[in-house]
Chains A and B, each alone.
Chain A
């Protein structure tokens, strides 16, 4: 099974998808329209690129700091949380999902993902 399929089987996950770092492709499953999934993948990609730029800057500033290279990011809202690790995104319903389990699952499943953003 793909990581997107695995994520969607987890409690509280309403949608999950993958995007290409170069921005020309995305795929998704779950409760989103095609156009909204496209918008989500563009926003997630933009933030991931920004986070990686910041990580590089931090690495120059303090070499071997534990934040570099960034592996992902999480935005926690009142009802929903967006978790992004490498080029995979996931939307989680806070009431029925576990943020810890989702982050840990994504971090393990994508542990060998390249940080080259290719």
Chain B
């Protein structure tokens, strides 16, 4: 699971955050407090939780209807805005589910400046497996 500090090392990172499946912001790092604040991240976390749920529902339905595999489970949802993007991942939660764990870790998210954004690097950082215990 990528730490918030690791996410803040991504090119163009403006903020990194963790949030519950229900959307509540749990923890955050903010590089430019004058441009993005905790209240904005809280609303953004709720939006991201909603979008992850909808995308998961759509991927599930799509696979059932089309018999195409490889869309579910959603690993990351990215919203590309005018100047910034936000990438959120729920992959760690899926890994916990696969291991039969009932208590799931939070979602992680990172806000990136579009001009420097490397989406594949963000996905790779978020998908990094947990170190073996």
Contact = CB atoms under 8 A, between A and B. Distances in A.
Contact of B80 (A40, A54, A107): A107
Interface string B51-78: 1001100110010011011111111111
Contacts, number: 125
A74 B59 CA distance: 12
A65 B84 contact: yes
A46 B93 CA distance: 26
Interface in B76-118: 76-86, 111, 113-114, 118
A62 B74 contact: no
B43 A47 contact: no
A17 to B, nearest CB: 14
Contact of B65 (A36, A50, A71): A36
A57 B86 CA distance: 16
Contact of A76 (B43, B68, B78, B80): B78
A57 B69 contact: no
Contact of A73 (B69, B71, B77): B77
A86 to B, nearest CB: 10
Contacts of B62: 39-40, 43
Interface of A: 36, 39-40, 43, 47, 50-51, 54-55, 57-58, 61-62, 65-80, 82, 85, 94, 98-100, 103, 107
22 contacts: A39-B62, A54-B47, A58-B40, A58-B44, A61-B40, A67-B83, A67-B84, A67-B86, A69-B82, A70-B80, A71-B80, A73-B77, A74-B119, A76-B77, A77-B59, A77-B74, A78-B70, A79-B69, A82-B71, A98-B120, A100-B120, A107-B80
